[in-house]
Structure 1
Amino acid sequence: MALTIEQKIAQKEAELARLRGQSRALENGQKIILGGMLLAEARKDAKIRQWVLDMAKATVKRDVDQKRLAPLLAELEAQAKA
């Protein structure tokens, strides 16, 4: 039995949704890897550490994000003072 136009559209929409999910997963993985690299360098290099602190203060506006980053930023600030 041949598929109707509506069924073909539904299949293609499902395929598109899967591809979009794969794309988001790839991008999220890349962000995690780069974030880890940046944090490792920020813990070692004073210039990068200060840049991370400045950027976080300038760009992170949502309360939930600020609360999530607070322990990390406190750690980096303590390293900057030491």
Structure 2
Amino acid sequence: MALTIAQQIAQKEAELARLREKSRALENGQKIILGGMLLAEARKNAKIRQWLLDMANATVKREVDQQRLAPLLVELEKMPREA
């Protein structure tokens, strides 16, 4: 039995939604990996640490994001300024 146009559209929309979710999952995984790499280097390298602190202070505007990052930023700020 052939699918109606409406059924075909619904199938394609569902397929597109699955592909978008797959793309988001891939991007989120990449962000997690890169974020871990950046934090590891920031804990070892004073220049990277300072850059990260400057960027966080300049770009993180939402209160909920600031609260989430606060403990990490305090930790990084307590570390030596120069290696």
Report the equivalent of 1:63: 63
Provide, for residues 47-71 of structure 1, a one-character-per-residue CA deviation record: whole Å limited to 9, x for no partner. 0000000000000000000000000
Q: Distance in 2 between matches of 1:51 and 1:13?
A: 43
So what's the TM-score if we normalise by structure 2?
Answer: 0.96
Q: Distance in 1 between matches of 2:81 and 2:24?
A: 38
So what's the TM-score if we normalise by structure 1?
Answer: 0.97
4+ aligned runs moved over 2 Å, structure 1: none
Percentage identity across paired residues of the two chains: 82
Q: Gaps (5+ residues) in structure 1?
A: none
Across the two proteins, how many residue pairs are aligned to each other? Answer: 82
Q: Gaps (5+ residues) in structure 2?
A: none
- Paired residues of 1:49 and 1:80 also in contact (CA < 8 A): no
- Is 1:6 equivalent to 2:6 in the alignment? yes
- Paired residues of 1:50 and 1:80 also in contact (CA < 8 A): no
More helix by share: 1
Quote how far apart the aligned CAs of 1:80 are: 3.2
